[in-house]
Amino acid sequence: MPLNVPTFSDLLWPALKALKALGGSAANDELLEKIIEIEGIPEAVQSIPHTNGIQSQLSYRLGWAKTYLKKSGSIENATRGVWTLTKYGESLTKAGCEQIPKLVRDQTAQIKPILVVQQKESPNSDTDSQESWKDKLINAILTLKPDAFERLAQRILREAGFIKVEVSGRSGDGGIDGVGVLRINLLSFQVFFQCKRYRGTVGAATVRDFRGAMVGRTDKGLIITTGTFSADAKREATRDGAPSIDLIDGDLLCDLMKKHKLGIRIEMVEMISVDENWIACL
């Protein structure tokens, strides 16, 4: 039986239901997990990767659903990564959601000439550029040898404030690739980390196995991947009664490299505008 990922239009109504269930606002991961719970989406479907490998196909299509909901005025995101239900969105029914794709496409068709002009004036202003640089970065990382990726993880942890970061460089250690010490004020924590360099989704079994290797040795763990984590993996990482494990997926990995300027060069573009009113007053 084929595994079908819901289309973006199929996710419009579930996204609104999930936001209502979460109190009217939610971060990206919270919203995705709530939709999975409400719709009963199996892990096999959650784990289907999008072509860029940074996120799952489900997450990618939910991104488009959020874009359409925002353009229709149903949700807004004043804070990056946090979505809020509007009054209009609260009043929408399932039948109303079915009209959103056509509504947004009609709006886009009306402003298309303006968008074309803006694109000619500023070709780099397209928001898709945010996604393309992450695609390029992940593709470059995927060409690294395993030990080089471990050294990259080591560098990122050091830049993030870890000390005594060591890469084990040996197999057969339960998936533990290295260890570092995170110091917060007067307290220090030993953290074991694991590096997963591949496209695709890391499942709950990987998290459980890694935790098993940690038991009796440390209470803090970190898994770094160029791919994504399934909803079950995220729940397993924070399961009650078990040592918590922090997760860094491909998207967050890119953000951290940008923050610490590791393999990322940020160029500032000078924008010049003419103050016609000032000239007219001469």
**Mean local confidence (pLDDT), 71-96:** 87
Q: Check if the beta carbon of residue 187 is closer than 8 Å to that of residue 131.
A: no
Q: What mean pLDDT value characterizes the chain? A: 84
Are residue 167 and residue 92 in the same domain, yes or no?
A: no
pLDDT at residue 241 above 50?
yes
- CA 230 centroid distance within chain: 12
> Which of 128, 92, 106, 124 is CA-nearest to residue 19?
92
| CATH classification at residue 17 | 1.10.10
Q: What percent of the chain has pLDDT over 70?
A: 87
Are residue 170 and residue 96 in the same domain, yes or no?
A: no
pLDDT at residue 190 above 50?
yes
For residue 247, what are the domain limits?
A: 141-259
pLDDT at residue 224 above 50?
yes
Give this prediction's pTM: 0.68
> Which of 54, 280, 263, 7 is CA-nearest to residue 156?
263
Are residue 192 and residue 148 in the same domain, yes or no?
A: yes
Report the alpha-carbon distance of residue 193 to residue 185 in Å, rounded. Answer: 22
Domain membership of residue 129 (yes or no) is: no
Q: What count of Cα atoms within 13 Å lies in the side-chain half-sphere of residue 101?
A: 12
Q: Check if the beta carbon of residue 227 is closer than 8 Å to that of residue 200.
A: yes
Are residue 101 and residue 151 in the same domain, yes or no?
A: no
Report the alpha-carbon distance of residue 257 to residue 156 in Å, rounded. Answer: 7
Report the alpha-carbon distance of residue 182 to residue 271 in Å, rounded. Answer: 41
Are residue 147 and residue 248 in the same domain, yes or no?
A: yes
pLDDT number for residue 79: 66
| pLDDT tens figures, 149-163 | 998 999 999 988 888
Radius of gyration (C-alpha) of the chain in whole angstroms: 22
| pLDDT tens figures, 108-150 | 766 555 444 444 444 333 344 455 888 889 999 999 888 899 9
Are residue 156 and residue 111 in the same domain, yes or no?
A: no
Are residue 105 and residue 171 in the same domain, yes or no?
A: no
Are residue 255 and residue 145 in the same domain, yes or no?
A: yes
Contacts of 78 (CB under 8 A, 6+ apart): 84
More confident residue, 239 or 2: 239
pLDDT at residue 69 above 80?
yes
| CATH classification at residue 169 | 3.40.1350.10
The total number of structural domains in the chain stands at 2
- Hey, is 151 helix, strand or coil? helix
**Mean local confidence (pLDDT), 85-113:** 83
User: What secondary structure, in 3-state letters, does 202-266 show?
Assistant: ECHHHHHHHHHHHCCCCCEEEEEECCEECHHHHHHHCCCCCCCEEEECHHHHHHHHHHCCCCCCC
Parallel, antiparallel, or unpaired for β 228-229 and 82-85? Answer: unpaired
Contacts of 111 (CB under 8 A, 6+ apart): none
pLDDT number for residue 183: 83
pLDDT number for residue 163: 87
Are residue 153 and residue 115 in the same domain, yes or no?
A: no
Domain membership of residue 125 (yes or no) is: no
Confidence of residue 275 (pLDDT cuts 50, 70, 90): confident
Domain membership of residue 275 (yes or no) is: no
pLDDT number for residue 103: 87
Q: In sequence order, what are the beta bridge partners of 166? A: 179
Are residue 149 and residue 108 in the same domain, yes or no?
A: no
**Mean local confidence (pLDDT), 195-205:** 88
Are residue 146 and residue 239 in the same domain, yes or no?
A: yes
